[in-house]
Amino acid sequence: MRDFIYLASQSPRRKQLLEQWGVRCELLLPDADEDSEALEAVKPNEPPSRYVQRVTRLKLEAAVDRLKRRALPLAPVLCADTTVAMGRDIMGKPESAAHARRMLAQLSGHKHQVLTAVAVAHKGQVFAALSRSSVEFAEMKPAEIARYVASGEPMGKAGAYAIQGKAALWARQISGSYSGIMGLPAFETAQVLQAAGLRLL
């Protein structure tokens, strides 16, 4: 049987990307009583890169505990977290439609960073990497932002947008990892999985 990993993420995009790369994965999602959102709290004056790596590590630790608690077969566990930042300002997932509109108005006509941290735990070791990309959006009219938010696509997304969706229509320039902006950087993910002993090709 081909090697498999546990994916501790509710993002369908991450699962889709792994399968596209030929990685067999089983979901390892939180129990109902686990407070996953608490792990994403931002500390005062925390730089975006430190934040995204810390949150990924916390999610990974929680997933490894979950694996042990459920007495599942051992396999590498992968976690990832994506954040959008303008300078030191961390832009997480919108809390409401109004919040999503404000975030997109802030991104309109400006360049921002997309940071995705990825980490794998296997046999007591942790392998981690960080992907940094930048995206420049063209000016977005308030009516365009309103229609985009009304589509529902921004909800649950860091920075209130999905680069693989309608938001691509405003992406004037992208530098870095397209898959990283989607939520799972191909190169960095391959590096940590191979370090954990998984054969990809």
Dihedral angle sign, alpha carbons of residues 5, 15, 118, 67: negative
Going by C-alpha positions, the residue among 191, 183, 174, 186 that lies closest to residue 52 is 183
89 catalytic residue (yes or no) = no
Residue type, 128: A
How far apart are alpha carbons 112 and 19 in whole angstroms? 29
How far apart are alpha carbons 13 and 167 in whole angstroms? 15
| CA–CA distances in Å: residue 35 to residues 40, 108, 160 | 10, 33, 22
How far apart are alpha carbons 64 and 67 in whole angstroms? 5
Burial of 29 (0-12, 13-18, 19+ CB in 10 A): middle
Cross-strand partners of 4: 24
DSSP letter (8 states) at residue 29: P
Q: Which of 31, 33, 65, 81 does the annotation list as catalytic?
A: 81
Give catalytic residues, as residue numbers.
81
